[in-house]
Structure 1
Amino acid sequence: MDTPHVYVIDTVVTKPGRAREFVDIYLNGYAPGARARGMTLERLVVSPPVWFPDESNTVTATWVLDGAAGWWAMTWQGRPDEAVRHWWEGVGDLVLERTRTTGAAPADIERLGDV
């Protein structure tokens, strides 16, 4: 049986004209640590698909984790990690707002809850 996936979605609204810079820093600064915590970057999308010089963009990163165990392992590694908090503080001048949500495919939900 395939392992169900948990998706972690970071949604970041960048300050005007800062989206390209944020994406570069996210991929080079945040992503390596996320991978070390067991996360796999499925996709990164910039909306709208234009590098605005004077408007905001929304950057959406979708990460994949293997099952509930993968989510818990990532959570317990990331929450106490001061480097993660410092990284987000360090990009504060690029970000207007950010959210993180988690989800799963409907067919996986019951298996994810059976731990």
Structure 2
Amino acid sequence: MSDRTIYIIDRIVLRPGTARAFIDAYMSEYAPGARERGLTLDRILVSPPAWIDGENNIVTATWTVSGPRNWWAAAVEGRHDPAPARWWESVAAMIVERTRSMASAAEDVEGLCNV
């Protein structure tokens, strides 16, 4: 069903001392393009919830999109636009590792399978 929310979850482990600069860049440089592709920023989480010298922070950015059609449209647009890849490359020195996953509420999975 098209009204089911799909979550796109970016989990980024950052080098010590870089989380604040990364978040600033993510919000000002990456987020506008993601919004143009149809994604809605749900939240940015920082773990641990403190800036501790000498320790990594993990930033988890959660985006939402309504239904598989919009998810595929955003994914295809992102793959054909070199700007997101260039942006990730520009901040690579700050990153220890990063992953992206997709999820939905358990009660929405069945409906998302029937597209």
Q: TM-score, normalised by structure 2?
A: 0.96
8 Å Cα contact 2:2-2:66 kept in structure 1: no
Distance (Å, rounded) in 2 between the aligned partners of 1:53 and 1:29: 25
Please show how residues 51-70 of structure 1 align to structure 2 within 5 Å.
51-70=51-70
TM-score, structure 1 as length reference:
0.96
Question: Which ranges in structure 2 are unaligned for 5 or more consecutive residues?
Answer: none
**1:34 is matched by which residue type in structure 2?**
A
Deviations 1:31-85 (A, max 9, x none): 0000001100101000001112321100000100000011101111001211111
1:77-108 deviation per Cα after TM superposition (whole angstroms, max 9, x unaligned): 00121111100000011111000000111111
CA contact (8 A) 2:2 2:67 kept: no
CA gap 1:114/1:2 in 2 versus in 1, 3 angstroms: closer
What does residue range 23-34 of structure 1 map to in structure 2 within 5 Å? 23-34=23-34
Match of 1:84 in 2: 84
User: Percent same amino acid at aligned positions?
Assistant: 49
* Preserved contact between residue 13 and residue 96 of structure 2 (Cα < 8 Å): yes
Residue aligning to 1:13: 13
For these two proteins, the number of residue pairs brought into alignment is 115
Gaps spanning 5+ residues in structure 1: where?
none
1:42 alignment counterpart: 42
